[in-house]
Amino acid sequence: MIRLKCIICLFIFIICFKSYSQTIKGTVYSEDNKPLTASILFKEYSNLQSVKDFAIVRNGIFQKKLKQDYEKLFIEVKAEGYYKQTLTIDKPKKEKSYSFDFVLIKMQEYELEEVVVVGKKRRFEVKEDTISFNVSRYVDGSERKIEEVISKLPGVELNEQTGEIKYKGKSIETVTLDGDNLFGFNYTLGTKNINVDMVEQIEAIDNYAENPLLKGIEQGGKVSLNLKLKKGKVDVSGNLDFGSGWFDDGDQAFNLSSNILGITKTYKSFATLSYNNVGVNQTPFDYFGFSFNVEQQKEQNYFAEKIVPETRFSNLLEDRRANINNQFFGNYNAIFKLNPKLSVKTNLYYLQDRISTNQLFQNDFKINNDFFTTTDNTFITKKPQQYRGDVEVKYNTSKTSLLEYNLRLRQENIETPTTVIQNQTDEFSSFLNTEDFYFKQDLLWTKKLSDKKALQVSLFHSFNDLPQTFSITPSLFDEDALMDTQDSEFKRTFLEGKATYLGSGKRDKYTFTLGANLNYSPFLSRLYNSEEIISENNFDYTQNNIFNTGVYNFNRGKWQISPSYSLRVLNQNLEQNLQNNEQSQNDFIIEPALNLKYKLNSVSFLSGNLGYNQNTNAEQFFFLNQVLINNRTTISNLPSLELQISQRYSLLYFNNDLYNQFQLNANVNYQKSTGNFFTNQNITATTTQIEYFFLPQDNSSWNINMQVSKYIPFIESTLKLTSNYILSNFRNIVNNSDLRQNENQFLSNSFFWKTAFEIPVNFENTFSYRYSNSKSENQLAFINKSWQNTFKIILKPNRKWFVILSSDYYLPNTKQSDEQFFFLDATLRHRPKSKKWGASFTMRNITNENNFEQVQTSDISTTIFRSNLLPRYFLLNLSWNF
């Protein structure tokens, strides 16, 4: 393992610190002595068709270290509206610096008769901090929503489960619509629902700043995407899609949706309305796998804890195969510019769904030389319903000040009736009702003190109330009782006020914050039946922070050095009201961090960061007595207010060479935490009792990932290799054992190949391999290997007709080759020349696979998970654009 880490680190080191040849620098001006923005291409004179390197000239100045040797260097300087200029250097000397001053001559303008030239647009355009990708150059005809195009852009990563988008390795702030932030962090509303035909360009923006008063002042590095709409998409435009067909069992299948975009000078809106029962999730919310979206990840510190979980397993398959749903979703987003100083944004949501699944869990345990198997055959119906409204008001009180107010109200109800057949003999019926009320408001005032300094003052308040009721029949605790009922209710109130001072110099930027916050989280629970009260909990947890944070960004040539710190005075108080017991702890916390970035050239950089943190523990570890969470499991805790100390280190190499269509990023992360809540599990064939307790012991993890992509011209194909390796070490106690040291390893590799032939037939293939190894000291390892292959044939006999044939093959366990799954899908699409309407015929799961099986390993067991799937169905879809 150590050898593998050394090889990977040496590989990254060699890539990033290879020697350079020559340095070319100078200026580019016009005849009237104005600095120009231009591009400089570097070529080998003997092969002028191939660009070996390039540089972007900003404000008339450039400097470039060439990566390759040249026998005869050919330099070509281009600027829009000017004649290009070239020069050559015979046998340029290594390590020598060359300086040139280019003066470009402006092209003369002539009035000509109209000439129409039809040709391909360039794939992308670079202008300062923005790269504009022309959508038409990244589509093959299979894409319907803009999310599918975004996932193909170089340097962009899309998490299909959460909808999160990353650009240059960083999570984007938002996706704007012609520059307006209509969706906020819930940008999947736009990416999942806006049709490809409505968008002309996708702009990737570096150093994004939503607040115009902070442009050039706040810390850079934020990234975002902007959807640039096609000309003519004004006033009212949109689309209607009507899809209907039948499932294999005779039930009718539907996939209906409509989107409306409204644009005027003072108003912009996007609305969507959809209904489907074919496994499609048109919303930003995941009620199938319960993965947090980007917005929820950013706000989870304000959420109350959900003690009884809504789900027990994540499915490896795409939602469209396993999500047996009945979803209705409506959403309206609008920005009203009431006058030059005042604007109002509203976001309204309504969601209703019914998700049904049959899941079989088989656990093969090996604990302290004891072998046994448990099974749970579960029939689950989940019925979520959500109402939500957001309001944002922005008022420019003057040219140098801005007042912003945000308000959100959300009510979510989830009903989950479940039937469980345990160990093939005992049948239980349960019902979980979860209500989730969330209220959030914040006020932010920004004052621009000068061109290089600004002050922000903010007030924030949130409240979350999350009651749950879980009932199960027959009783698990008393044969004479009809049922057991578990009531629980977590609440959280969060208040914060802070002031932030921002400044910038010629090269440096800095930010300092002073503030205080309060977190109040009470919890009540009661486990009872008709015969007795089995368990109760009642605690109040209060946390107060007075904090000061700062970050200073030094820019020195190609180096960006950003030290930061956080100082906190922390007070925690935990009252166990039933036991008349109180714990209190005060801490003074110092948390330093350092980020380093070195720009290797115009297309690549190396960055590293390290940090030290001291964190409080989650409130879910503070109740003393048992809480019932399913037909088998109860949980309890030995509360502690001790802090968890964590260290993190990471190294990233990123290369995004658009001109040569080459991307490479490699990332190594290491994290170590001291002081954790560990588990003491007591597992039998019918019950699982888990007690969490705090120990000042270490857990650690390594995460190494790499992705390399290249377009190969002579085979007209894009190849992409992705690899991810995770090694984690942790401790636990199982069935009265000693404290055990455990190790989990996970390796995932995938190879992607897509052709771009100038013929009607193209191909796409993705092969994936997964390996997991879970081992406890002095015990045998639990090992599983699986692989998957997805193959597509894309046929375009002409511009009006389009065909996709795709297959998915899964082998969940290479040792059990008889358990394999094969899926086949087909789509036929017709699009007339007018593009106003279209039709398609789709068949899913043609092989009619009824269920899917996958294997997961842990330090104590191998788990075989089987779930039912959407049956074979066909769908005829008609679409109309207006």
DSSP 34-86: -B--EEEEEEETTBTTS--EEEEEBTTEEEEE-SS--SEEEEEEE-TTB--EE
What CATH architecture applies to the domain 513-738? Answer: Beta Barrel (2.40)
Q: Does domain 130-233 have CATH number 2.170.130.10?
A: yes
Pick from 311-315, 360-364, 451-455, 677-681: least confident: 311-315
What integer pLDDT is reported at residue 17 of this predicted model? 38
Averaged over 701-730, what is the pLDDT?
94
pLDDT confidence of residue 137: 85
Q: Report whether pLDDT(13) > 60.
A: no
444 pLDDT above the threshold of 50: yes
Q: Which residue has the higher pLDDT, 779 or 78?
A: 78
Tell me which residue has tokens 């150059």. 137
Using alpha carbons, select from 391, 526, 541 the residue that is nearest to residue 469.
526
Average pLDDT, the chain: 89
Kindly state the average pLDDT of the residues 4-19: 40
For residue 142, pLDDT beyond 80: no
Q: How many CB atoms lie within 10 A of CB 691?
A: 17
Distance CA 395, CA 751 (A): 51
Identify the pLDDT of residue 635: 96
Measure CA 108 to chain center: 49
CA 171 to chain CA centroid, nearest Å: 7
Nearest to 821, CA basis, from 793, 798, 789, 796: 789
What is residue 235's predicted lDDT score, i.e. its pLDDT? 73
Q: Which has the closest alpha carbon to 478: 530, 536, 418?
A: 530
pLDDT of residue 313: 54
Per-residue pLDDT reduced to its tens digit, 154-191? 888 888 778 888 888 888 889 998 888 888 888 888 88
Half-sphere exposure of residue 327, counting CA atoms within 13 Å on the CB side?
28
Which residues, 6+ apart, have CB-to-CB distance to 495 below 8 Å? 460, 461, 517, 518
Q: Mean pLDDT over residues 493-497, rounded? A: 98
Q: Is the pLDDT of residue 141 over 80?
A: no
Residue with the larger pLDDT of the pair 196 and 328? 328
Task: Specify the pLDDT at position 6.
Answer: 43
In this structure, the number of other CB atoms found within 10 A of the CB of residue 335 comes to 19
Residue 529 binned pLDDT confidence (cut-offs 50, 70, 90): very high
Residue 315 is predicted with a pLDDT of 67
Residue 735 has pLDDT above 50, yes or no: yes
For every residue of 215-245, DSSP letters joined together read: TTTS----EEEEEEEPTT--EEEEEEEEEEE
Q: Which residues contact 232 (CB under 8 A, 6 or more apart)?
A: none
What is the CA angle 659-664-667, rounded to 5? Answer: 150
* Bridge partners for 581 per DSSP: 576
May I ask the CATH architecture of the domain 4-104?
Sandwich (2.60)
pLDDT attached to residue 445:
97
Q: Is a pLDDT exceeding 70 seen at residue 121? A: no
Report whether 652 contacts 683 (CB < 8 A). Answer: no
Tokens of residue 199, six digits: 């968008």
- Confidence class of residue 532 from pLDDT cuts 50, 70 and 90? very high
Q: Cis (ω within 30 of 0) for the bond into 474?
A: yes
In this prediction, residue 25 carries a pLDDT of: 85
Q: Which range, of 180-189, 466-475, 642-651, averages the lowest pLDDT?
A: 180-189
Taking residues 732-759, report their average pLDDT.
91
Amino acid at 139: V
Partnered with residue 717 across adjacent β-strands are 712, 755
Q: Sketch the domain layout of the chain as residue ranges.
A: 4-104, 130-233, 513-738
C-alpha 530/C-alpha 511 separation (Å) is 59
Name the 3-class secondary structure at 664.
Answer: strand
672-711 pLDDT tens trace: 999 999 999 999 999 999 999 999 999 999 999 999 999 9
C-alpha closest to that of 324 among 383, 277, 276: 277
Give the number of other Cβ atoms within 10 Å of residue 834's Cβ: 8
Kindly list the distances between the CA atom of residue 652 and the CA atoms of 159, 608, 667, in Å, as whole numbers in the listed order: 19, 6, 4
Which tops the pLDDT comparison, 172 or 94?
172
Those residues whose C-beta lies under 8 Å from the C-beta of residue 684, and which sit 6 or more positions away, are none
Calpha distance 248→846 (Å, rounded): 10
H helices then E strands: how many in the chain?
5, 46
Residue 556 has pLDDT above 80, yes or no: yes
pLDDT tens per residue across span 233-248: 557 888 899 999 999 9
Angle at 315 between CA 634 and CA 814, to 5 degrees: 110
Q: How far apart are CA 38 and CA 26, in angstroms?
A: 12
* Mean pLDDT confidence for 121-144: 83
Strands ordered across the beta sheet of 97-104: 61-65, 23-30, 97-104
- Asked if residue 763 has pLDDT above 80, the reply is yes
pLDDT the model gives residue 14: 38
Residue 473, judged by CB atoms within 10 A of its CB (0-12, 13-18, 19+), counts as middle
Please check the confidence at residue 3 and state whether its pLDDT lies above 60.
no
Residue 738 has which token pair? 């000693």
Q: What is the pLDDT of residue 232?
A: 61
Residues of the chain with pLDDT > 70, as a percent, come to: 95
